[in-house]
Amino acid sequence: MRILVIFSLIFLLVSQLAYGKHTKVKKRPEKPFKSFVVVEEKSGKILMSENEKEKRIPASLTKLMLSLLVLEKLEAKEISLTDKVTVSKKAAQMGGSQVFLKEGEVFTVEELMKATLVASGNDAAYALAEKIAGSAENFVQLMNEKAQSLGMKDTIFRSVSGLPVSNSNDTDITTCVDMAILARNLLKYPKILEWTSIKKDTFREGKFLMVNHNKLLSKMDGIVDGLKTGYLKSSGYNIVTTAKKDNFRVILVVMGSPSCRSRDDFVIDLINRVYSEWKLKDIVKKGEVVNKDIILPDGKFRKIKGVVAQTFFYPIRKNNPGIAEKEIRLPEKLSGEVKEGQKLGEILIKMDGEPIGNVDIVSPVYVPKANLFTRIIRRVGLNI
């Protein structure tokens, strides 16, 4: 009997070992990101995120900062879209993603911006940087100064295009939060969406086809409408994109995805989730009358009620909207004439007790001074 038990135990042990040898252990599926953030465009409120302040390599997302500086120069009329740019030897030698510029070729600023943002041309970005700052090194300095002024605290640029610096392992560094700050500032310029929503275009008089790497423009046509992708082996697949439904625009930044497909699928999931869970609420509306009188001792009218200068939107959860509060800050009296549109005070807006913004209260009409006799009578208290 004892021998039978021993043989049974040996058999079970051998069976388990044999089973384990031929059984594959399933690997956990790889996450479709290293870090991400979803931000509402108007308020900058973070709606969803994970590792959003983790420092990562942006790759070609760097070109978004170049784009912001170009757009600022255009607005200031320091350059124009039709300005000619002559390609230098250094620009023509840029590797990676490119539109194969040749030394001495001449293109307009707009042609090179499209090549930078649609085809992600490193050579086009380099040529633009030289045009604006005289050299890529000078332009990088402008990029870092701008990043600091915007509050991109964890960003350091070392290139104009996202490629590692020559003869060095130094790369650009940023975070999802910082890229969202950059995108919010870029979206102030309508031209950025005009350029980055282009799915296909041609370059060099139709001889070179440029295809946008942001496939979400097609996968979510009518919702996703712009910005940029980026990839390096050391960074993984990155994207800064924007989606809009009605008046509700969000910015999505995903970094460190193992593939462009997993990245895009994850972004689609985020977009569907954010629009199913959140909505944009107008806390106060432009033109809304503020129900509090201001005395006008010198005015033709004795009192005036201000109106809200602009609509204040804020994202709220559909299943838990929170409590909005409005604190009206107005003077009791206002001397002199009052101009139409003149600021009278402001509304401090809070959500669940936390300040989220403020909106000006302005005069809806022009109120001239009353005549001298009327003002004197008022001052002696006859209340005319």
* Catalytic positions, written as ranges: 60, 63, 120
Tokens representing 152?
A: 């991109």
Taking CA atoms, 376 is separated from 60, 141, 267, 302, 367, in Å, by 69, 62, 68, 14, 18
What does residue 288 show for φ and ψ, rounded to 5 degrees?
Answer: -65, 130
Cα separation, 23 vs 96, whole angstroms: 43
Cα separation, 378 vs 17, whole angstroms: 103
Count CB atoms within 10 A of the CB of residue 164: 17
CB neighbour list of residue 50: distance below 8 Å, 6 or more residues apart:
33, 35, 36
CB neighbour list of residue 352: distance below 8 Å, 6 or more residues apart:
322, 323
Cα separation, 213 vs 228, whole angstroms: 8
Cα separation, 330 vs 343, whole angstroms: 10
